[in-house]
Structure 1
Amino acid sequence: MKNNIILIVNPISGDVDKSELIDAATAFAEKENLNLVIYNTSGISDSDNIKVLYNTYTPQRIIVAGGDGTIKMVAEAMEDHDVIIGILPAGSANGLAVDLNLPSTIEENLEIAFHNDFMEIDMISINGKKSIHLSDLGVNAEMIKNYENSSIRGKWGYALQTVSTLIDLEDPFIATITGDFPTIECEARMIVIANSQKYGTGVSINPNGVMDDGKFELVILKNMDLVVLGKIITGNMPIDVNDVEIISTDQAFVTTNIPVSFQIDGEYCGKETKLNIEILPKQLKVAVPNPISAII
């Protein structure tokens, strides 16, 4: 009997056609004598439909062709099941794939997604919502809101909205952050809740992030002038505490003096004034390149 593999495809992620990827995955499964079940997301009852598919086929792996939002949706649907998730990067930025050092070719990613060993990564709960990668308050979330409302997709679209957002930059907000560390009260342009190191654009925002250490980082960007932004984009995170402060913890509470734009894993979630944050250790089995040590 053939082993079952479910392929979840987000047809609109990244605004790119998925037919080549689906054909490649189908051919790979046939070569490996696997029964590939393909499901295209529609935005309607996807989580429930994926649960039904799992109960019908009981696969050991589910492959996701989409971005971080699609991966998170599948992970949440499978939270009560022992299943390995393989990733075929097909979103606008593919942040988790970047942090996992997944290769650039479909052929290499198929091998990893279908066959490679896995690591168990943490997730983060933020006001009861789960994050697998990077979430934030402030400038980047505002940029994502603008990006979602624009017609230009991909990295070029992100770049255009970054410039536009910085030109229209509002005053900083005041944040109070409490936890198992001295209380912090400061002006901030952006607060990142990081389970990993890099945005999908390749920009490193949390150089010491580890996805399976039982902790997350709060990266507090107090200053976002062009000099600081340039350092971040070129991979040289500022070390001046007047510009950036990083806290590693497993629980924190953030309040702001005004409603601030907020995003989770690249999805704009509106404005918030309070964030209750805690780590959820080893929530997700993800197929990774070998050796695993290359990504931590």
Structure 2
Amino acid sequence: MKNNVILVVNPISGDVDKSELIDEVTFFADKENLNLVIYNTSGVSDSDNIKALYATYAPKRIIVAGGDGTIKMVAEAMETLDVIIGILPAGSANGLAVDLNLPSEISENLEIAFHNDYMEIDMVSINGKKSIHLSDLGINAEMIKNYEKSSIRGKWGYALQTVNTLIDLEDPFIATITGDFPTIECEARMIVIANSQKYGTGVSINPNGIMDDGKFELVILKNMDLVVLGKIITGNMPIDVNDVEIISTDQAFITTNIPVSFQIDGEYCGTETKLIIEILPKQMKVAIPTPPLKII
């Protein structure tokens, strides 16, 4: 009897046609003597539909072809179930895949997604919403808002909107941050709530990030000039505490003096003046680039 595997495909993520990817996954599953069940997301009742498929087929693995938003949706649907999530990066930036050091070749990713061992990664709750990767207040969220309005996708789209956002840079906001650490009150351009290290563009924002340590980091980018912001955007994190401060914790509360643009895992969420943040340990099992165990 064949083992079942569900493939969840976001057909519009990254503005890339997924037909070739689906063909490769189908060929791989046939070669491995697996029964592949394909589900294309529509944005309507996807979580409930995936739960129903799980109840019918009871797979040990669900493979996700999409970006961070699709991965998070599947993880939340499966949060009480014992299932491993394999990732085939197919979004605009693929931040989680970048942090997991997944290869760029689909053939290598297929081996990892279908056969490799997993790690149990944490999530972060922010005002009751879950983040699996990187969320932030400030300039990057403003850039994502502009990107979502743009017709240019991929890394070029991000680069263009980064320039446009810096040109239209407004005054910094004032943030008050409390938790199990001395209260911080400062001007800031951006505050990152980080469960990992890198944005999907490859920029390292949180060098100390570990996705399964029961902690998240607050990366506070203070009232810095365009030169320092440019260094961060190009992946050169400044080490001067006057520019950047990093706090590792398992809970925090942030208030701002004005509404500030906010994003979760690359999705713009409007503006916020208050964030209640806490770690959610070991929320999802994700296949990682380690020697394969052939466990299905």
TM-score, normalised relative to structure 2: 0.97
Q: Say whether 1:7 aligns with 2:12.
A: no
2:141 aligned partner:
141
Deviation at 1:223, TM superposition (A): 3.2
1:34 aligned partner:
34
Whole-angstrom distance in 2 between the partners of 1:226 and 1:257: 22
Instruction: Please give the per-residue CA displacement for 1:209-248, whole angstroms capped at 9, x wherever unaligned.
Output: 0000000000000034232123223433111111110000
Deviation at 1:74, TM superposition (A): 0.4
Whole-angstrom distance in 2 between the partners of 1:72 and 1:279: 15
1:212 aligned partner:
212
Whole-angstrom distance in 2 between the partners of 1:21 and 1:226: 40
- Amino acid corresponding to residue 201 of structure 1 in structure 2: T
Question: Structure 2 stretches of 5 or more lacking a match?
Answer: none
1:98-247 aligned at under 5 Å gives the runs 98-247=98-247
Question: Structure 1 stretches of 5 or more lacking a match?
Answer: none
Q: Is the 8 A contact 1:48 1:77 kept in 2?
A: yes
Instruction: Please give the per-residue CA displacement for 1:94-115, whole angstroms capped at 9, x wherever unaligned.
Output: 0000000000000000000000
- Amino acid corresponding to residue 198 of structure 1 in structure 2: K
3-state SS of paired residue (2:284):
strand
Q: Considering only aligned residues, what root-mean-square deviation do their CA atoms show, in Å? A: 1.0
Instruction: Please give the per-residue CA displacement for 1:163-197, whole angstroms capped at 9, x wherever unaligned.
Output: 00111111100000000000000000000000000
Whole-angstrom distance in 2 between the partners of 1:3 and 1:290: 22
- Amino acid corresponding to residue 286 of structure 1 in structure 2: V
Whole-angstrom distance in 1 between the partners of 2:31 and 2:216: 40
Q: Could you say if the C-alpha distance between residues 145 and 159 of structure 1 is closer, same or farther in structure 2, counting changes exceeding 3 Å?
A: same
Whole-angstrom distance in 1 between the partners of 2:16 and 2:224: 32
2:79 aligned partner:
79
Q: Could you say if the C-alpha distance between residues 291 and 212 of structure 1 is closer, same or farther in structure 2, counting changes exceeding 3 Å?
A: farther
1:257 aligned partner:
257
- Amino acid corresponding to residue 58 of structure 2 in structure 1: T
1:22 aligned partner:
22
1:63 aligned partner:
63
- Amino acid corresponding to residue 81 of structure 2 in structure 1: H
Aligned pair count? 292
3-state SS of paired residue (1:82):
coil
Whole-angstrom distance in 1 between the partners of 2:208 and 2:129: 24
Q: Is the 8 A contact 1:223 1:244 kept in 2?
A: no
Whole-angstrom distance in 2 between the partners of 1:188 and 1:243: 9
3-state SS of paired residue (2:104):
coil
Whole-angstrom distance in 2 between the partners of 1:14 and 1:213: 30
Q: Is the 8 A contact 2:137 2:191 kept in 1?
A: yes
Deviation at 1:291, TM superposition (A): 5.9
Whole-angstrom distance in 2 between the partners of 1:51 and 1:123: 20
Whole-angstrom distance in 2 between the partners of 1:237 and 1:291: 32
The percent of aligned pairs where both chains have the same amino acid is: 90
